[in-house]
Amino acid sequence: MKVAIELLATWFRLGHLKPAPGTWGTLGGIPVVLFLNLLSPIGYMVGAGLFMLFATLVAEFYERQLEGHDRSEVVIDEVAGFTIAMTWLPLTWQAWLGAFVMFRILDALKPPPLSWIDQKIKGGIGVVADDIAAGIITNFVMQIVFVQTAWLGYQLAS
């Protein structure tokens, strides 16, 4: 069981890659986003929500195993956050790149309120919550870009 928790927490050992394990973890979220996009839009959201819960549990178990909070090798939270960042976006290279870069910047710099979440909330939920917040902020901005411009490759008819 310990090996399985470690594999999942580090998203199949991507979290052990240097430098920037969070970036590697976010890249590991691409297959999850592709899979969720096979579902309906509501199915995507349900799947992303279930993945957030799963990531929270895995992070909680991993913290208990190693007795440390939000260790750098834990990247399942980046996978969960990136699924939120990509929710209902077109699968164009512009959307992938924009969401990836914005999510990584927010996750690395942790501006308020992300820094507050990161510092104040403990346990598995604390590990995942700041990444979920970064994903929500990223998605909010990307949705505005998607609807208001053609920068993401195409836009909905007015």
Structural contact between residues 3 and 13, judged by C-beta atoms closer than 8 angstroms: no
Structural contact between residues 146 and 155, judged by C-beta atoms closer than 8 angstroms: yes
Whether 158 shows a pLDDT value over 60: the answer reads no
Cα R_g (the chain), whole angstroms:
15
Whether 40 shows a pLDDT value over 90: the answer reads yes
Mean pLDDT throughout 36-48?
Answer: 97
Mean pLDDT throughout 36-54?
Answer: 97
Q: Which two tokens stand for residue 52?
A: 């957030």
Report CA 46 to chain centroid distance, whole Å: 15
Tens of pLDDT, residues 133-155? 999 999 999 999 999 988 888 65
Whether 157 shows a pLDDT value over 80: the answer reads no
- Residue 156 has a pLDDT of 52
Structural contact between residues 110 and 130, judged by C-beta atoms closer than 8 angstroms: yes
Tens of pLDDT, residues 89-133? 999 999 999 999 999 999 999 999 999 999 999 999 999 999 999
Mean pLDDT throughout 14-18?
Answer: 97
